[in-house]
A and B are shown apart, each in its own frame.
Chain A
Amino acid sequence: MGKYFFLIICGSMSNILNIFFYLDITDINSDFGTYFIMAASLAQPTFTSGHLVLLMQSMIPMFAFQIVYGVYIYKHFCCASVYYFSRQKNRTRWFIGESVKIIKYTAIFFASYILTAIAVTIGVTGDSKVVGELCIYTFLYFVLYNFVFCMLINLVSIFTGSQNGIIITYGIQMASVFVLNVFNDKVQLTGIPLKLFKLNPASNLVVSWHSSSGKLGKYINMFNIDFDINVSLIYFFVLSLIITGVGGFIINKIDVTLENKEEKG
């Protein structure tokens, strides 16, 4: 219970810090949806370096979470690996069980994050008409995105050690935000560039850049492009399945080494 409580507090604090540091909380003349987009979903209106830097700054709580849970599976390969895995009759089943636990912790953290954003939004705007769909999409995007990268850190760390796992995974995330800068007056969001934009994990993470024909449309659709909000959900879901599947396969094939990668000089 203590662990869950700590996660909830951290999730809540993460959102409060992001709102406090990066949001103009005096802008209260907005409805729930408009304010919530800014308070929770990493919305940035352009691809200038300034806005992309703000996007990266807002992702810092996510990176901190990924660093902590990026060693959740890896830790079993550090010490006592021989005694742990000589007892594991089915490593793949074990791996899937650990993956489910990571999803659980990710969900708790970001549920707290989103609920805090909802509370702040209602408190600031006075508008209690919660746009449930918006909250749910934001929550699912955050959970699946962070699950994918936590798992990636774990898998890379098993082979290279935790510091390299972080460097490589953080590098991928930073690069995926960095490349969005080309859409700032250099390249148009049409044709093949748009397809590449849709494959970029960072662009899939930001709810407000998506399009929706339903009532969500008035809160998102920032760039008026064909970028269906449901397709990104499927994209993250498929990525999650792939990483879990690949991880389960790799875990079964690797030799359990005696060396502790954290102890390598």
Chain B
Amino acid sequence: MDKIELINVSKEIKKKKILEDINVKFEKGKIYGLVGKNGSGKTMLFRAISGLIKLSGGMVVADGKVLHKDISVLPSLGIVIENTGLYPEFTGFENLKLLSKINKKIGDKEIWEAIKRVGLDPADKRSFRKYSLGMKQKIVLAQAFMEDPEVLLLDEPTNALDEETVNLIREILLEEKEKGKIIIIASHSREDIEYLCDEVYKISNGRINVKRGGESNEEMV
């Protein structure tokens, strides 16, 4: 996928504007950062891009195809939303296998490797409900990476992770960027934004009002 364009994207819920006239372009081979206060609309923007919600106005165009008109979801997407889990009664491997059956793009081997890549044991027999917070975050990241998607939307990807794993995830994201993926991360971590992002957008009250690109992103966070 070469680019994703948001044109006048708006979302209203019970007469409250959650997103308002968002105009943004995301291109391949770059990592974009999204910063903003709690409740500013970051997660809602991710849901809008991923096709999980219907827009009140505007459109999301992915390589010329309009979301909810030509396509219902982005054709190749890996997503992590903060505080959303997987099926609690299944193991990490079983969870990913279940999700992989939807598009049938990958087999057990790819799932195994995705779990190992984030530093977990694919043979772990514990169910998801017994995982620690960090382990849950890792397995959710593994499900985002496992099908080698062209677009990655990651909401607080390094949440609850130890320093070693944070470095690991950063390396993975840089590898994915080299492969030409479109990567958008939302984070409160200044270090993540500084280290990873080529461009940073600040979202406030549902509007993107500032954009910074280049080396220095300090004033954004």
Contacts and interface: CB of A to CB of B under 8 A. Distances in A.
Contacts of B74: 86
Contacts of A86: 50-52, 73-74, 77, 79
Given A256-B53, A258-B81, A83 B47 contact: no
Given A88-B102, A91-B72, A258-B84, A83 B143 contact: yes
Contacts of B99: 80, 83-84, 87
Given A87-B99, A258-B81, A258-B84, A82 B72 contact: no
Contacts of A129: none
- Chain B residues touching A, range: 20 to 34
Contacts, number: 64
A81 B71 CA distance: 19
Contact of B73 (A81, A89, A253): A89
Given A83-B86, A84-B102, A87-B102, A256 B52 contact: yes
Given A86-B73, A87-B103, A89-B71, A253 B86 contact: no
Interface string B80-100: 010111111000000100010
Interface string A102-131: 000000000000000000000000000000
Contacts of B83: 258
B47 A256 contact: yes
Given A82-B79, A82-B84, A255 B72 contact: no
B84 A255 contact: no
B143 A82 contact: no
Nearest to A80: B86
A86 B102 CA distance: 10
B163 to A, nearest CB: 26
Given A79-B85, A82-B84, A258-B47, 14 more contacts: A79-B86, A81-B84, A82-B50, A83-B99, A84-B99, A84-B102, A86-B52, A89-B103, A90-B72, A91-B72, A252-B72, A253-B54, A255-B53, A258-B83
10 nearest A-B pairs in the assembled complex, by CB-CB distance: A255-B53, A256-B52, A87-B102, A80-B86, A82-B81, A86-B79, A86-B50, A82-B84, A80-B87, A258-B84
Interface of B: 43, 47, 50-54, 71-75, 77, 79, 81, 83-88, 95, 99, 102-103, 140, 143
18 contacts: A79-B85, A79-B87, A82-B47, A82-B79, A83-B86, A83-B99, A83-B143, A85-B73, A86-B50, A87-B77, A87-B102, A88-B102, A89-B72, A91-B72, A256-B47, A256-B53, A258-B43, A258-B47
Interface of A: 79-91, 252-253, 255-256, 258
